[in-house]
């Protein structure tokens, strides 16, 4: 059980993160650069150039500056020559704890007269503080808000937000909005190849459906019955035209294959399309017919080049060709044909668009037959009288004449001429060889035999007891 859970977690991690998310995750160096930039910004904001506040309330000042504020009020109250009680009360209300500040400053003063000067403000401070009119004490913060939040939590949150934003940007925003917009600007406002190809496929599908609806009734009402397979193949410029279809029955029984492809071109325009049929019962060959544009069909050189592929058919709207094997019968028809008018081709010499219909019937016991709507009444016909047959006379055989045997040739021996009667020629007898035969050649002296005794002849290898 634990092993299954571990495998599930590992497979989920590999499938979700490694395959889907990791290609769009920010690089490690990018994340480190973001964190380093954040710490540099905090250092500049807190150390090099801290924030300076202006015109703040005295309660926001530090405690030492609040003490200075109270000392200034004591000097003003002592130097006043008119009634300033209300003004002193409102100014004491600007600090957070005026009673504590006055008491602490008076006790810290070494001069009794100066201490008495501060204590004169004490009644005003008590009156203001008892009325609850003093300012709220500022939040001096803590280690959590002063250190942990800015230097630990904020960098972590910044990294998480950056990673999430990077994933959303790469997966959704860039691929669906920014990327297509940049490509559109680079193309100068033209449609992309993928968009053009998608539009071409949709147009082919629409034309195929319309052609199928138009020809379905005609095929069903034919004398062969409904075909086991029908398909439309549409050629349009700009695509690699090479269609191939599997021929199957309604029960998904494979019978063979058929298709169409470009057979010949002229000036980069298609001038011939070949259609082919493969029967699984006759897998040793594939039958091919070629639809040729009228100028090429009438040209002997073009015909000689294309006839090696299969039978030629002149390509025109409504042209039909029939391809049969032992088990299948395929009818190929050009439902719609538009000739090319540009590109330096002769009139009707190439195709700009062609819609070709494939209809396949099955022969034999598995073929689909048409069920008659009503039983037809057949009138019996009387049998015709049998005619008599007289065989012709047998021809007589006459052997050919025997040729005469060839004459036996006569043999005459050549005449004999005796040699002249002169003296017999003398022959010099050969000198007999010396007795004992030819003396042998002198052999070179043999080299001295090296001594193979390692002991220099001093060793005695006589067995003991011999």
Residue 343: predicted pLDDT: 74
Q: What is the pLDDT of residues 239-298, one digit of tens each?
A: 789 999 999 988 889 999 999 999 999 988 999 999 999 999 887 789 999 999 999 999
Six-digit token pair at 90?
């409102």
Paired with 233 in beta bridges are 356
Residue 208: closest CA among 227, 232, 192 = 232
Lowest mean pLDDT among 129-133, 329-333, 458-462: 458-462
261: exposed, middle or buried (Cβ count in 10 Å: 0-12, 13-18, 19+): middle
Residue 271: predicted pLDDT: 94
Task: Check pLDDT > 60 for residue 375.
Answer: no
Lowest mean pLDDT among 70-79, 271-280, 420-429: 420-429
Quickly list H helices, 179-330.
Answer: 179-186, 193-220, 294-298, 300-306
Distance CA 15, CA 11 (A): 6
Task: Check pLDDT > 70 for residue 464.
Answer: no
Q: Which is more confidently placed, 364 or 117? A: 117
Paired with 257 in beta bridges are 246, 278
Residue 223: predicted pLDDT: 66
Task: Check pLDDT > 80 for residue 402.
Answer: no
Q: Which residue has the tokens 């033209």?
A: 190
Distance CA 92, CA 70 (A): 7
Residue 138: predicted pLDDT: 58
Residue 374: predicted pLDDT: 40
Residue 36: closest CA among 166, 159, 144, 167 = 159
Six-digit token pair at 260?
């169409």
Residue 382: predicted pLDDT: 42
Element spanning 108, H or E? helix 98-108
**Using an 8 Å Cβ cutoff, are 249 and 255 in contact?**
yes
Distance CA 459, CA 453 (A): 8
**Using an 8 Å Cβ cutoff, are 323 and 330 in contact?**
yes
Averaged pLDDT of the chain: 78
Task: Check pLDDT > 80 for residue 399.
Answer: no
When pLDDT is averaged across residues 16-25 and rounded to a whole number, the result is 85
* Coil, strand or helix at 36: helix
Contacts of 367-370 with C-beta under 8 Å, sequence gap 24+, read 367/225, 368/224, 368/225, 368/226, 368/227, 368/228, 369/225, 370/223, 370/224, 370/225
Residue 132: predicted pLDDT: 67
Lowest mean pLDDT among 203-207, 228-232, 329-333: 203-207
For the chain, what percent of residues have pLDDT higher than 90?
Answer: 21
Q: Where are the domains of the chain?
A: 58-130, 204-366
For the chain, what percent of residues have pLDDT higher than 70?
Answer: 70
When pLDDT is averaged across residues 424-435 and rounded to a whole number, the result is 55
Q: What is the pLDDT of residues 345-355, one digit of tens each?
A: 889 999 998 99
Task: Check pLDDT > 60 for residue 434.
Answer: no
Residue 281: closest CA among 250, 311, 324 = 324
* Coil, strand or helix at 353: strand
Vertex 125, ends 124 and 131: CA angle to 5°?
Answer: 95
* Coil, strand or helix at 233: strand
When pLDDT is averaged across residues 380-397 and rounded to a whole number, the result is 51
When pLDDT is averaged across residues 172-180 and rounded to a whole number, the result is 86
Residue 1: predicted pLDDT: 82
When pLDDT is averaged across residues 77-94 and rounded to a whole number, the result is 82
Lowest mean pLDDT among 211-215, 269-273, 277-281, 332-336: 211-215
Element spanning 5, H or E? helix 2-13
Instruction: Name the most confidently modeled range: 150-154, 449-453, 460-464.
Output: 150-154
Question: What Cα–Cα distance (Å) separates residue 43 from each residue in 29, 180, 323?
Answer: 21, 41, 85
What's the pLDDT band for 445 if we cut at 50, 70, 90?
low
What φ, ψ does residue 260 adopt, rounded to 5°?
-145, 150
User: Virtual CA dihedral for 51, 53, 54, 60, nearest 10 degrees?
Assistant: -160
Vertex 197, ends 193 and 202: CA angle to 5°?
Answer: 150
Q: Which is more confidently placed, 142 or 287? A: 287
Residue 96: closest CA among 63, 141, 52, 55 = 63
Q: How far separated are the first and last CA of the chain, in Å rounded?
A: 89
Q: pTM of the full predicted structure? A: 0.43
**Using an 8 Å Cβ cutoff, are 164 and 17 in contact?**
no
What's the pLDDT band for 372 if we cut at 50, 70, 90?
very low
What's the pLDDT band for 73 if we cut at 50, 70, 90?
confident
When pLDDT is averaged across residues 16-37 and rounded to a whole number, the result is 87
């Amino acid at each position: 059980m634990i092993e299954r859970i571990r495998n599930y977690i590992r497979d989920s991690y590999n499938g979700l993160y490694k395959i889907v998310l990791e290609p769009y995750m920010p690089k490690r160096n990018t994340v480190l650069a973001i964190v380093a930039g954040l710490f540099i910004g905090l250092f500049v904001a807190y150390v090099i150039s801290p924030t300076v506040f202006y015109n703040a309330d005295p309660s926001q000042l530090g405690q030492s500056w609040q003490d200075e504020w109270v000392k200034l009020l004591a000097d003003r109250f002592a130097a006043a020559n008119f009634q300033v009680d209300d003004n002193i009360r409102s100014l004491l209300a600007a600090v957070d704890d005026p009673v504590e500040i006055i008491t602490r400053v008076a006790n810290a003063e070494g001069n009794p007269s100066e201490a008495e000067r501060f204590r004169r403000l004490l009644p005003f401070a008590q009156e203001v503080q008892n009325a609850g009119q003093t300012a709220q004490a500022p939040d001096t913060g803590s280690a959590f808000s002063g250190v942990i939040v800015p230097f630990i939590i904020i960098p972590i949150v910044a990294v998480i937000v950056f990673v999430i934003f990077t994933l959303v940007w790469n997966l959704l925003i860039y691929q669906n909005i920014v990327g297509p917009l940049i490509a559109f600007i680079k193309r100068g406002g033209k449609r992309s190849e993928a968009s053009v190809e998608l539009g071409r496929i949709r147009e082919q599908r629409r034309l195929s459906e319309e052609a199928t609806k138009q020809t379905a009734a005609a095929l069903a009402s034919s004398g062969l019955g409904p075909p086991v397979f029908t398909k439309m193949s549409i050629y349009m410029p700009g695509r690699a035209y090479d269609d191939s279809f599997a021929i199957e029955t309604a029960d998904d029984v494979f019978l063979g294959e058929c298709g169409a492809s470009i057979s010949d071109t002229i000036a980069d325009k298609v001038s011939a399309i070949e259609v082919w049929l493969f029967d699984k019962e006759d897998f040793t060959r594939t039958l091919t017919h070629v639809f040729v544009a009228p100028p090429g069909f009438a040209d002997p050189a073009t015909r000689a080049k294309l006839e090696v592929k299969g039978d030629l058919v002149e390509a025109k709207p409504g042209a039909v060709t029939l391809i049969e094997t032992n088990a299948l019968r395929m009818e190929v028809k050009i439902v719609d044909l538009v000739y090319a008018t540009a590109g330096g081709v002769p009139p009707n010499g190439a195709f700009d668009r062609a819609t070709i219909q494939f209809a396949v019937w099955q022969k034999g016991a598995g073929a689909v037959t048409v069920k008659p709507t009503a039983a037809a009444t057949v009138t019996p016909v009387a049998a015709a009288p049998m005619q008599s047959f007289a065989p012709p006379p047998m021809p007589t055989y006459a052997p050919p004449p025997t040729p005469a045997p060839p004459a036996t040739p006569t043999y005459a021996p050549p005449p004999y001429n005796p040699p002249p009667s002169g003296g017999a020629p003398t022959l010099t007898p050969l000198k007999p060889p010396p007795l004992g035969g030819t003396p042998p050649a002198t052999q070179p002296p043999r080299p001295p035999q090296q001594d193979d005794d390692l002991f220099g002849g001093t060793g005695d290898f006589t067995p003991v007891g011999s």
